[in-house]
Amino acid sequence: MTTTPRIVEVRQNVLKHNDEVAHALRSRFQEAGVFVVSLVSSPGSGKTTFLERALTMLRQQCRPAALVGDLATDNDAQRLARSQTPVKQITTGSLCHLEAAMVDRTLEGWDLKELDILLIENVGNLVCPASYDLGEDLRLVLLSVTEGEDKPLKYPTIFNSADVAIITKMDLAEVVEFDRAAARANIEAVRPGIQVFELSAKTGQGMDELLAYLQEKSAVRSPAS
């Protein structure tokens, strides 16, 4: 008797488990009325400075909190503590990206109803985080002026997966001869129509516009209470 292989279709998404957890998180966030924003970037894009400034400013208007995927130094943790908002670190081990289950686990102990906006800082990596849904409402990709205008062309997948692109460290734009038009054209090429913000978390330039945009998005999402 000869054996003939039989092909059966199974159509199973490999990240099915992550997608299910993310889906459940998204429903929980919606129910509790928390607007969730994730941040992806390369290391050194100025994420922590951005996060500190954003939390400090948001605190004047609502109840923000943050989950932080990788703190390079203790200094980072102290800086975030200065914002006087709830901040928790997600333990990733050696993982190069966050997964929905880690977010779920880290949220334990927090009453989501006490929060209005949750910022989730992913691990500094422009490749791996692209595949993992975290249940967020918006994904922000950060690009600093010091990283070069062609970064979006080198990492099109993550830029394409983002909802908003943020050019950070604009205070250094002149010094590094940042080509603003080229950077914007490259972002637009890999993600046509994406909203782009230019800001400096150091000087505060452009922060108001971005935070107003987030508040507006969050208002549209939440059902009137």
Q: Residue 71, interface with other proteins (CB under 8 A)?
A: no
Binding residue (CB under 8 A) for other proteins from 71, 153, 172, 196 = 153
Q: Residue 12, interface with other proteins (CB under 8 A)?
A: yes
Site string for other proteins, 103-132 (x = CB under 8 A): ------------------------xxxxx-
Binding residue (CB under 8 A) for other proteins from 156, 171, 215, 221 = 156
DSSP-derived secondary structure for 174-204:
TTTT--HHHHHHHHHHHSTT-EEEE--TTT-
Site string for other proteins, 162-201 (x = CB under 8 A): --------------------------xxxxxxx-------
> Which strand ranges, in their side-by-side order, compose the sheet holding 195-198?
87-89, 64-68, 117-121, 35-40, 138-144, 164-168, 195-198
Torsion of CA 200, 205, 209, 210, to 10 degrees: 10
DSSP character for 68? E
For other proteins, the binding residues (CB under 8 A) are 3-17, 95-97, 127-131, 153, 156-158, 160-161, 188-194
